[in-house]
Amino acid sequence: MIEIYFLHLGILLGIYLILSLSLQITFGYTGLINFGHMAFFGVGAYVSALLMISGLPFIIAISLAGVLSALTGFLLATLTNKLRGDYLALATLGFSFVVYNIFINWRPLTGGALGLSGIPAPSLLGLDFSSSYSFFVLIAIITLLVYFLIKKLVDSPLGKVMEAIRDNEMATNVLGKNTFKIKIISFSVSAFFAGIAGSMYAHYITFIDPSSFTVMQLIPIITIVIIGGLASLKGTIIATIVLVLLPEPLRLIGFSNSLIGPIRHGIYAIILLLILIYKPKGFFGKVELE
């Protein structure tokens, strides 16, 4: 039983890692304040769930979940091209509300507030991933793959152009770089991986409803990114492990499940506040929040 519990934590850790590492691409590296990340996560979850429910294989479901989330990211980047800072934050926040309302109101497709249940477990190359152990192995492999791809991107010269946009978009433009194109790449790649995380989440929990993809769910992810440090993948990994595991002792103390959620959000909010005041670069970041 305890083994299942630790595997569950490991799986959650994987999903959170993919979400927070992918948010680093827009937020940490390109300097785009992106509150629309949960919308990409949700699109990935619904696309993958619907495709597998309708009988398509997992590999197609997860791939299309990533691609359609990336297209959503492309759309958001295109719509918000001229916006920076607070205005971009508000626009991405608004976007996430729009997507949330689509999940709620497109009932024939999404099941509305009741959500989708009976989402099949993944199977790949004849292997079944319905057990906690096998699912943990699958998410571990995907998380590692996502980490290496994101690391490859941010360490490449393209990653430096993203950082240049974060530091000074006008100067990057004056050097001849098409900053609109780079922002589209940043949003699309970030959304692609968030969509992959959404797909894994849907097939693990086997039930999704719109409440899993609200801005409230983004708070832990943003907290992780800021605590670990903007533009630091190492910091993101450490912060994810700490923040996902931190509330777990509350269960051992005997708090009921209905209390653990709000207390966890409270802890995240306090940590976030302390970090913003006393350590604006986070623990491993090289960029100060402005």
Partner 1 sequence: MLNVNISKIRKLSKKIGGIRAVRNCSFEIKKNSIVAVIGPNGAGKSTLFNLISGVIREDRGKIFFKGIDITKFNPAKRSNLGISRLFQRTQLFKNLTVRENLILAIDNEDTKFWKNIFGKNKLTKEKEKKVKEALKLIEMGDFENIIGRDLSYGQIRLVEFARTVLNPHELLILDEPVAGLNPRLRNKIAERLKRLKREGKTILLIEHDMDFALNLADEVIVLDKGFLIARGTSSKIRQNKKVLNAYLGD
Q: Residues 166-205: x/- map of binding to partner 1 (CB under 8 A)?
A: xxx-xxxxxxxxxx-xx--x--------------------
Q: Is 158 in the site for partner 1 (CB under 8 A)?
A: yes
- Decide: 75 and 226 in contact? Cβ < 8 Å: no
Of 22 and 212, nearer to partner 1 (C-beta) is 22
CB of 152 to partner 1, least distance (A): 6
For tokens 């079944």, name the residue. 128
Nearest distance in Å: CB 18, partner 1? 18
Q: Which residues contact 91 (CB under 8 A, 6 or more apart)?
A: 79, 80, 83
Q: Is 109 in the site for partner 1 (CB under 8 A)?
A: no
Residue 41, both tokens: 């996560």
Q: Which of 229, 234, 232 is nearest to 288 (CA)?
A: 229
Task: Confirm or reject binding of residue 34 to partner 1 (CB under 8 A).
Answer: no
**Terminal C-alpha separation, the chain:** 46
Name beta bridge partners: 128: 123
Instruction: Confirm if 227 and 269 have CB atoms less than 8 A apart.
Output: no
Residue (161 or 239) nearer to partner 1, CB: 161
For partner 1, the closer CB: 128 or 155: 155
- 199: closest CA among 58, 48, 54? 48
Is the Cβ of residue 251 or residue 286 nearer to partner 1 in the bound state?
A: 286
Interacting residues of 95 by C-beta distance below 8 A, sequence separation 6+:
36, 39, 76, 79, 80
Decide whether 181 or 251 has the Cβ nearer to partner 1: 181
Of 74-82, 138-146, 156-164, 212-220, the window that binds partner 1 (rule: CB under 8 A) is: 156-164
Shortest Cβ distance from residue 30 to partner 1 (Å)?
12
Q: What is the contact surface with partner 1 in residues (CB under 8 A)?
A: 149, 152-153, 156-161, 163-164, 166-168, 170-179, 181-182, 185, 231, 286-287
